[in-house]
Structure 1
Amino acid sequence: MANESENNLESTAGSEEGPNNASWELYLERKNSLLGFLHSQLDPQLLQYHQSKVEHLKRCYFYLEIEPKQTHFRDNNNAIQLVEVLRLIDPWELQKMKQLGKTQTEIQLSLLTELLEQLERGREELSCYAETCEAPAFLAGWHWVTQRVSELLKYMETLVSVEVPGKLYVKQQLVSHSFQGGLRLPSISLSLSVKTPPIFDPEKSSAQQNSARLQWFTENQESDLDQYELECELLIRDSRREMGYGRIQTVTSNTCVVHGLEPGRSYKFKIRRSDTGFLVYAKWFDSIVLTTKPMAVQVVDRSARPQG
């Protein structure tokens, strides 16, 4: 579709102007071609779709993935065993790869934001050009239009490719030669994977007098074996954190009951994925505020008097 739009614009650019009626027909042809490009390649709903996708990526968790997971290794007894590749990787080199993954993720998200801004700006420029320019000025600036369209098509192509996390380019030797045991190890590939953030379900989260039940979900309903960190903070009336109180617990489920809360108090709960050792980027977490039920007040009936 992108190539078709560019070819249509280029074909109209090659037309020659003739008498006035021919110029007018050329103007209409080129204007319709430009409007067709705007409605297909830079449709506002399409740009909004990519905007939502980028905002979602900014809330996701990025992890370092190592392939293969296992390889054959010769031990001190000259026996060949199947071992985890992670055990053979230099921990210092692994930390450097995690930092590289974090840097690459930050660059990726920054680039996506910049590309969307360029596409929005380009659509505004071309829409204004098509709506306000009279025929002579429109035809005179057609070369600029074709150049701008070509740039925007490249921006869109880059946007789509960058929305998917890619491989990390490794120059260092991750496995020391002393660990290779005379065997030729397979090529180790590092890449980035994405997991969606956990989000509280407000309809299924509630507080009792001394406890609160929290439930959360992820968009793709991942395995219940995933680990999460649930943080609980006691709030004072102006919603600031109360000094000296807070707890964090690890949960391997999508539900948790927190006990030991005070009646009639507000608590802020935060949920995030646990750092399993391969997390390289995470900036966003979901939160919810729940208020425990007040303690029941016993009413004493003073109208009843003891029999004398």
Structure 2
Amino acid sequence: MSAAKEGVFGIMDMYLNEFETSLESTGCNQEGHNDATWKMYLERRSIVLAFLRTNLSLHLLKCHQKRIELLKKSSFYIEILPKHLALGGQNHLMLPTAMFQLIDPWRFQRMKKVGTTQTKIQFLLLTDLLEQLERGREELVYYLETCDVVTFLSRWDLIKQRLSNLSELMDSFLDMLVPGKLYVKHRLVPDVRATKVPHIGLVLSTKMPVVFDRKESVAHEDWATLKWFSTSQQSQHEQYELCFRLLEHGMQKERGHCGILTVTSNTCKIQNLLCDRAYKFTIRRAETYSLVYEQWHDSITLKTETNPDQDMDSSLCEPEG
């Protein structure tokens, strides 16, 4: 959500607060309207206000925007499910990894491409749905702010339909946040083995991004300690790839000062670095056979400390003034 939109929504929230306060403090009906009309007006405006404060609040829209951004930084994988199991069941976690060996490799690679496409479409749909919800909020606030009693009541059927549409949009948005099944047109297991293996279904799953611990990751003279974490549940043998690269090149021999380390824990110590140099470190999960989408990797830049002995040597070599 852009800063401009946040500013607009902030003004809207201020207006809603002021308007709700004015409604509560109103002790008599508006001039020119009978009690029944005024009561109906207050009740229906209260419905819209309640909807804006619960289903379509600024805080909620901001949270949804952050969830989309987090999803775009996440890793997406294909998981195997027997089709007779519900998606919410946990039995699929017990399937042996050997199941992948029964699947036709070419067909599985094709399904990975489908999974990548489906993930990208999911992001586009989520962004579009969120924009529709934001526009819907603006529209409802416009009705509250500009319509008098007669106009508001005359448009109530339209407003009520808009509330219903926005509720459906929100439901669609929430459903879209969770990756779903992949449509399998053909059997993934070759016909030769099909008699012994049940029909296989595929589902997309996500793992939250791996990010560096900025407080615990530090550089020293010629070594650095890196630490990272993820909010996803980590498997016992999950592997990570830690890359490091020298950003400042001095002498020719420094140009190849980089590397990739495979790590099975969430911390690593890199030694034999150059003193007083800036390094860029990047962390990611090691690529697996079932990975279909991963576009973002966290990185951090650290500078090693100066070697005190080098400083002393350089000061001894300085010419006298």
Please report the TM-score for the alignment, with normalisation by the length of structure 2. Answer: 0.77
One-letter amino acid of the counterpart of residue 84, structure 1: A
Paired position in structure 2 for 1:115: 129
Could you tell me how far apart the structure 2 residues matched to 1:224 and 1:247 are?
25
Q: Which string of whole-angstrom CA distances, capped at 9 and with x for unpartnered residues, describes residues 64-112 of structure 1?
A: 10135xxxxxxxxxxxxx9922112111101001011111111112111
What CA distance in whole angstroms lies between the structure 2 residues aligned with 1:276 and 1:42? 39
Residue in structure 2 matched with residue 42 of structure 1 by the alignment = 56
One-letter amino acid matched to 1:233: R
* 1:142-161 correspondence runs (5 A): 142-161=156-175
State the AA in 2 paired with 1:298: M
Task: Give the counterpart of 1:55 among 66, 69, 73.
Answer: 69
Verify the 8 A CA contact 1:67 1:190 in the aligned structure 2. yes
* SS of aligned partner of 2:66: helix
User: Separation in 1 of the partners of 2:97 and 2:295?
Assistant: 34
8 Å Cα contact 1:224/1:253 also seen in 2: no
The Cα shift of 1:113 comes to 1.2
Tell me, what secondary structure is at the counterpart of 2:117?
helix
The residue that corresponds to 1:235 in the other structure is 247
Q: CA deviation at 1:198?
A: 1.1
Secondary structure of 1:197's counterpart equals coil
Q: Which has the larger radius of gyration?
A: 1
**Aligned counterparts, 1:261-272, within 5 A:** 261-272=273-284
Q: Give the match for residue 100 of structure 2.
A: 86
Query: Which structure has greater strand proportion?
Result: 1
Report deviation, 1:245. 4.7
Where 1:294 maps in the other structure, the secondary structure is coil
CA distance in 2, matches of 1:244, 1:204: 27
Partner of 1:252: 264
| CA-CA distance at 1:40 after TM superposition | 1.9
Shift in alpha-carbon separation, 1:248–1:30, aligned structure 2, 3 A = same
Letter in 2 for 1:94: F
Contact 1:61-1:279 at 8 Å conserved across structures: yes
- Change over 3 Å in CA distance of 1:218–1:301 after alignment to 2: closer
SS at match of 2:312: coil
> What are the Cα deviations for residues 123-180 of structure 1, in whole angstroms up to 9, with x where unaligned?
1110121122111221222222122112111110001111111111101121111234
CA deviation after TM superposition for structure 1 residue 243, in Å: 6.1
Equivalent residues, number: 265
The C-alpha deviation readout for 1:214-242, integer Å capped at 9, x for no partner, is: 011112452352111111111128xxxx9
Does the CA-based 8 Å contact 1:101-1:280 persist in structure 2?
Answer: yes
Confirm or deny that 1:135 pairs with 2:149: yes
Alignment-mate amino acid for residue 292 of structure 1 = T
The answer as to 2:304 corresponding to 1:292 is: yes
Query: Gaps (5+ residues) in structure 2?
Result: 1-31, 83-95
Counterpart among 196, 209, 212 of residue 221 in structure 2: 209
Structure 2: distance between partners of 1:139 and 1:83? 62
Q: Which has the higher helix share?
A: 2
Taking only aligned residues, the RMSD between alpha carbons, in angstroms, comes to 2.2
Which sections of structure 1, spanning at least 5 residues, go unmatched? 1-18, 69-81, 303-308
Q: 1:224 to 1:184 in 2, by over 3 A?
A: closer
Letter in 2 for 1:191: V
Q: Secondary structure of 1:49's partner?
A: helix
